[in-house]
Amino acid sequence: MEEEENDEEEDDKVVKENDDEEIFEEDLDDKFNSEEHELKNLTLTDNELFYPPENFSNVIGNIYRSSFPRTENLSFFKKKLKLKSILVMLSDEYPQDLLQQYAENNITLFTCPIQGNKEPFINIQDETINKALKIILNPENQPILIHCNKGKHRTGTIVGCIRKLQNWSLTMIFDEYRRFAFPKARGLDQQCIEMFQPKEIDEYATEKSWLPLNWS
C-alpha cells in the first residue's frame, strides 16, 4: 500500500515538473524581462540615425507592430512615425524610463493585458480581442504601435484578427503570422484567429466610420 502511495506521489511530482517545464517554455517569448531589456538599450551617438524596434512593421495605414520598445526607439517613434499612442498587451510593470519618455513626447500608453493562447484551457477571448481592436481602430489614437514582448504571438494574433476585418483569406493571415512568429509559431494562436468572430467589432467600427481600413 505504501509503495502505491509513493508511486502516486512520484507520478504527481513528474506531472508537476513537466507542467512547470512546459509553462516555462511557453512563456519564454511572452514574459517581459526588465534586466534583459535594460542591457539591450543602446547609447545613441548620432541624432540623425533612427532605430526601429525588433520585429517592427507597418500593419496598415497608421497602425504599426513591434516587440517591446527600448529607449533608443523613441526618436524613430516621434520623428518618423509621429506616434500618438502605444498599446501594450502585457500585464508586466512598464519600465519607468519609457513611461517618462512617452509623457515627454505626448505618447499615450494603453494597456490591454492578454494572456497568451496555451494548452489546455487558456485562450484569448473575443471580448478581449474586441477591447484591443477598439483602441487600435480608433483614428483618434493613431498613429498607434501595438506590442507584446517579442512582437510575435499576442501581437500576431491581434494582427490576424485585423486581417479578418480586411477579409484576408486564412492562408494569407497564417502566412503572415508564421513569418513574424518564426521559429515558434503556435497552432493555438492560429486557431484563435480562425475562431474569432469579427461581426461585433465590424459593426461597431463601421458605425463609427473606422472601417474600411486604408493602406495610405
pLDDT score at 120? 54
Tell whether 8 is covered by a domain: no
Helix 170-181 / helix 153-165 crossing angle, nearest 10 deg: 160
Q: Is residue 214 situated within a structural domain?
A: no
Judged by DSSP in three states, 204 sits in helix
Q: Pairing between strand 63-66 and 57-60?
A: antiparallel
Predicted local confidence at residue 17, as pLDDT: 34
Q: At 178, give phi and psi (nearest 5°).
A: -65, -35
For 129-162, write each residue's pLDDT tens digit.
999 999 999 999 999 999 999 999 999 999 999 9
pLDDT value at position 159?
98
Kindly give the parts of the chain with pLDDT less than 70: 1-48, 116-123
Kindly give, in sequence order, each residue whose CB lies less than 8 Å from that of residue 113, ignoring residues fewer than 6 positions away.
Answer: 89, 90, 91
Question: Is the residue at 5 inside a domain?
Answer: no
The cell for 188 is 493555438
CATH number of the CATH domain containing 147: 3.90.190.10
Domain span at residue 143 reads 31-207
Of 42, 23, 39, the closest CA to residue 31 belongs to: 23
Q: Confirm whether 24 is domain-assigned.
A: no
The answer to whether position 37 is within a domain reads yes
Our CA angle for 93, 99, 101, nearest 5°, is 155
From start to end of the chain, where are the E strands? Answer: 57-60, 63-66, 85-88, 108-111, 144-147
148 part of the active site = yes
Structure confidence at residue 177 (pLDDT):
97
Q: Which of 112, 148, 161, 192 is catalytic?
A: 148
Structurally, the chain folds into a number of domains equal to 1
